[in-house]
Amino acid sequence: MSYPDARYFGDAGEASGILRAADTPPDLRMYAPGANPRGTDVHYLSTGATTNGAFGLYRWEMGTRPGGAGAHFHRTITESFYVLSGTIQLYNGKQWADGNPGDFLHVPEGGVHGFRNESGAPVSMLILFTPGAPREAYFEELAEIVSTGRQLTDEEWTDLYLRHDQYMVP
């Protein structure tokens, strides 16, 4: 394994870091109408657009309501999960297991995976996608569906998933 080809060709470096404070409000809220307790807050820590396509990193803060993503895979991106707090069920393509603070799951392209919060307590985790695909559009479309209570047909779900490199597994 070697370093990738250079992407920066300046001589002295540059001041280009982006600091995001921990108390920055969430970029997206996934709340069902009248949801109590709260749904999911998503923080776009770094997107594919801000990392020049290198990666996307999101802090996913789930409330006490059950929820998550069923078994699926991606053809173009890897996905990794790092549990910050709480207990979340993580699926590695073979079995569901409790993910606790400090636990990490990496899933390469084509790897079946999923996550769900069934603990009845809040959960916080980091989700990393490489390369940095535009996952924000997918998350925002899901949030709109949840917040409006809109019911999609099987064909509409299939279209949504195909547009966002998401292939569901029964």
Q: pLDDT tens across 122-148, in order?
A: 999 999 999 999 999 999 999 999 889
Residue 37's pLDDT is 63
- Burial 24-52, CB ≥16 within 10 A → b, else e: eeebebbbeeeeeebbbbbbbbbbbebbe
Average pLDDT, the chain: 94
CB atoms within 10 A of CB 129: 21
Q: Is pLDDT at 34 greater than 80 in this prediction?
A: no
Tokens 């920055």 belong to residue? 24
d(CA 91, CA 73): 11
d(CA 39, CA 147): 10
Query: Domains plus CATH for the chain?
Result: 30-168 (2.60.120.10)
Task: Give the pTM.
Answer: 0.92
Residue 109's pLDDT is 98
DSSP 3-state assignment of 31? coil
| Amino acid occupying residue 40 | T
Residue 36's pLDDT is 57
In degrees and rounded to multiples of 5, residue 131 shows phi and psi of -65, 180
Mean pLDDT across 107-113: 98
Each residue's pLDDT tens digit, 47-101: 999 999 999 999 999 999 888 999 999 999 999 999 999 999 999 999 999 999 9
DSSP 58: E
DSSP 3-state assignment of 121? coil
Residue 65's pLDDT is 86
Contacts of 121 (CB under 8 A, 6+ apart): 64, 86, 87
